[in-house]
Structure 1
């Protein structure tokens, strides 16, 4: 009898969530004379 081929199970890839980087606003320092 012909051998039955085993079906390979496909692994589901987990999607990585990208973290949004918050841009820090640089405060301009006024130079005191």
Structure 2
């Protein structure tokens, strides 16, 4: 693995992924 690939898996990247999943959950809650 190169340094560039490792940069993708930084804490910031995880926070963005969690934020996207959280937004999806909120959208699903609005449906019900």
Q: TM-score, normalised by structure 2?
A: 0.22
Question: Which has the higher Rg, Structure 1 or Structure 2?
Answer: 1
| TM-score of the pair, normalised by structure 1 | 0.22
Query: More helix per residue: 1 or 2?
Result: 2
